[in-house]
Chain A
Amino acid sequence: MSITETTTRAKTAKEQTSVAVEKAWSMPDWAITTVSLVVLIGLWQAAAPFIDPLFGSYPSQIFSSFLVMMESGTLAKAFWQSIQPFFAGYLLAALIGVPAGLLLGRYRVAEAALGIYVMAGYATPLIALVPLLMVWFGLGFAVKMVIIFLLAFFPICINTWVGVKAVPKTLVEVGTAFCAPQSRIMRQIVLPATLPYIMAGLRLAIGKAVIAMIIAEFLTAISGLGGIIINAANSFRTAEMFVPIICVMILAVVLDRLVAWLERKVAPWQSEIAGEHA
């Protein structure tokens, strides 16, 4: 084989791989994600013979548990129980956290007077307060909502606050130069300029709120998806335990996608400017 032949061969091989790579790159995101999920679930299922049903579970077993729980209605009931305080707490956190962050970022006095509490609240392991919160709010809906609110509030508020701080001074000056009153500078310049940060805060808060929801259901009146987890775990029904865990994961991912979609709706310029993938 001559040298030229070898190099030509090598070249075609290389070209072929690069075409293949390009094809993989041109796959839509959802397809890549689906492939990834199928591979993961497949591997997990393949490992089934080695899994002791007491200490673990595998997809087909979890799925049959899921069907049983759907049939009896326990899953739907638990989901509904969980989701109510979840949304109440989360929405309240957004409703209060965003304006609070805007004020902290924009007004020096607010920042100096209240910033320290927000930082402290964020740094404190709020779960430590649960026993006290139970004394105040009881064991039911209210305490769950408060726990979820507390964990979701701080990332939303702090992200908004940081976002306001990052608004270019020059943009605010455009408002000043055109005689905009403070309230309109806030609404028409600071708020839109901060939206990407607010959205990031809302996404971070979803994770926090989901944790808060499960922990609240563990520690206060046992109920909802967290309740199923604890009861199933206590009686070693491991497959049954996985069902609500996976439900919670799906819930978190769906909500995250929802906020990401919302971000593209309310701040379309942002995704056009930033975030180009390699």
Chain B
Amino acid sequence: MAHVELLNVSKTFALKVKGVQRHARALDSLSFNVDKGEIVALAGPSGCGKTTALRIIMGLENASSGSVKVAGRQIAGCGFDRGMVFQHAELLPWRSAVENIKFGLEMKNLPQKEIDERAERFLNLVGLGHAKDHRPHQLSGGMKQRVGIARALAIDPEVLLMDEPFGALDSQTRETLQMELLDIHQRTGKTVIFVTHDLDEAVLLADRVVVMVGGHLREIIPIELERPRSDMRLIRSASEFARKRTMIWEALHEPAKPHELAA
């Protein structure tokens, strides 16, 4: 059974433009499944509805129509079964690194001892033991994002949702974090849905890439690269890597299909 199921999810935003009420269709009948332990990338140009889809799966936004199921159950708002990593980390500026990781654990009402123990463990998991008491403004972009990832992982969600988590980082930091994510996934077997507009990143990390254009599903492209994908050089030079990268590129640049124009 699929772990996360989207069925005909649509989202229309009402917005005012220069005082005139308008409607914007951000998602149009989006359907796809994610299996347990799978990494699925949502890829597509800016504004195609990736963030909206992820926010709906998280429960931060209600779909206008359609359904989202996690582990077979229709979602109703947020839940500890899903953990969110935000695009810009969104750490609480008054909390230190370790206190930020504790946030979700506190909301989960765990006993204090377990909160302390788990926060410490996940702080070390993302390699920030040395920056435990630093406040967000004392952390680099990459470190902030690490704390964001640890905060989401600490509540032990079944599904990790990530919105362009490495989008704002320099390429070296991004590569390091990509490898760390692969490593964490290897060890925890979490289901991961992440948003990216970076085709390399999509191919590198994902089992399948959901290509979206203008709120529509364009194509789902499976990536047949062996796991664990720990050797970046080997993966990047694999013919599958180049082939799939090209396929995604082509899917993105195909002319719109008739049903996509309807909206």
Contacts and interface: CB of A to CB of B under 8 A. Distances in A.
Interface string A100-112: 0000000000000
Contacts of B103: 174, 178, 188
Interface stretch (B90-98, B167-175, B225-233, B255-263): B90-98
Given A170-B88, A177-B84, A179-B78, A269 B94 contact: yes
Contact of A272 (B86, B137, B155): B137
Contacts of B17: none
A171 B137 contact: no
B93 A174 contact: no
Contacts of A267: 94
B47 interface: no
A189 B79 contact: no
Contacts of B88: 170
Interface in A22-57: none
B242 interface: no
A208 to B, nearest CB: 28
Contacts of A179: 78-80, 107-108
B215 interface: no
A113 interface: no
A170 B86 contact: yes
Contact of A173 (B60, B79, B94, B104): B60
Interface string B129-140: 000000101100
B58 interface: yes
Which of the four size classes fits the interface of chain A? 20 to 34
Interface in B54-74: 58-60
B78 A176 contact: yes
Contacts of A176: 60, 78
Nearest to B58: A177
B78 A178 contact: yes
A11 interface: no
A171 B90 contact: yes
Contacts of B106: 188
A269 B137 contact: yes
A189 B92 contact: yes
Contacts of B84: 177
A151 B93 CA distance: 32
A117 B90 CA distance: 35
A184 interface: yes
A122 B139 CA distance: 41
Given A174-B92, A179-B107, A272 B78 contact: no
Closest 3 CB pairs of A and B: A178-B104, A177-B84, A178-B107
24 contacts: A171-B92, A173-B60, A174-B86, A174-B92, A176-B78, A177-B78, A177-B84, A178-B78, A178-B80, A178-B103, A178-B104, A179-B78, A179-B108, A184-B107, A188-B103, A189-B92, A193-B93, A193-B94, A267-B94, A269-B93, A269-B94, A269-B135, A269-B137, A273-B137
Interface of A: 170-171, 173-180, 184, 188-189, 192-193, 195, 267, 269, 272-273
